[in-house]
Amino acid sequence: MPTPKNGDTVSIDYVLRRSDGEVVGNTEEQGPQDIELGSGQIFPQIEQALTAMEVGDEETVAIECESAFGPRRDELIIEIPRENLPPEPAPQPGMALQAQQQDGSPMTLYVVDVNDQSIKADGNHPLAGEDITFAITLREIKQAA
């Protein structure tokens, strides 16, 4: 059976787990995900594993935090005065906010604490500082033209 190569589109199912085993993502609800190999849509470690797989194969790929979403960075936790926020919706812990970095690029912040004068927001990816594991199953290979 053939194995996929760069330029091919593959359909995969996956389960994403933190190092403690907690499931934090999967394709269960939306069905298999299509990925074009070599396009940078997924972690290189997963692309590498997929190029050695045949349809129906299952593989577990562990990715250390430095190669995944990076270490947590304390400087990405910021205090924002309430007057700098729109009045509605009222900020709640866990809420995602969109902000602009100094270079103009977008950034997602997650509210971690709310008080009367300000909120504390975290610009780290929710999986920053985490080693992660993907359990992947190759469902289909669509060869590049």
Question: Same domain, yes or no, for 92 and 133?
Answer: no
Q: Which domain holds residue 51?
A: 9-69+129-142
Query: Could you tell me the two tokens for 75?
Result: 């400087």
CA-CA distance, 60 to 17, in Å (whole number)? Answer: 11
Query: CATH number, domain at 60?
Result: 3.10.50.40
Burial 105-141 (b: 16+ CB within 10 A, else e): eeeebbbeeeeeebbbbbbbeebbbbbbbbebbbbeb
Number of domains in the chain: 2
Q: Is residue 110 part of a domain?
A: yes
Give the mean model confidence (pLDDT) for residues 100-119.
90
* Residues 27-68 pLDDT 10s: 998 999 999 999 999 999 999 999 999 999 999 999 999 999
Strand 118-122 relative to strand 106-114, pairing: antiparallel
* Residues 84-102 pLDDT 10s: 888 888 899 999 988 888 8
CA-CA distance, 124 to 132, in Å (whole number)? Answer: 16
Question: Same domain, yes or no, for 14 and 60?
Answer: yes
Question: Same domain, yes or no, for 111 and 89?
Answer: yes
E strand or H helix that includes residue 136: strand 132-142
Give the mean model confidence (pLDDT) for residues 133-137.
97
Question: Same domain, yes or no, for 44 and 31?
Answer: yes
Question: Same domain, yes or no, for 57 and 87?
Answer: no
Instruction: Identify the pLDDT of residue 57.
Output: 97
Q: Is residue 54 part of a domain?
A: yes
Instruction: Identify the pLDDT of residue 25.
Output: 94
Q: Is residue 80 part of a domain?
A: yes
Question: Same domain, yes or no, for 65 and 133?
Answer: yes
23 vs 18, 41, 127, CA distance in Å? 7, 21, 12
Amino acid at 101: Q
Question: Same domain, yes or no, for 90 and 59?
Answer: no
Question: Same domain, yes or no, for 16 and 40?
Answer: yes
Amino acid at 114: V
Question: Same domain, yes or no, for 25 and 62?
Answer: yes
Helix (H, G, I), strand (E, B) or coil at 106: strand
Confidence of residue 1 (pLDDT cuts 50, 70, 90): confident
Question: Same domain, yes or no, for 115 and 45?
Answer: no
Contact status, residue 113 vs residue 93, Cβ threshold 8 Å:
yes
Q: Is residue 3 part of a domain?
A: no
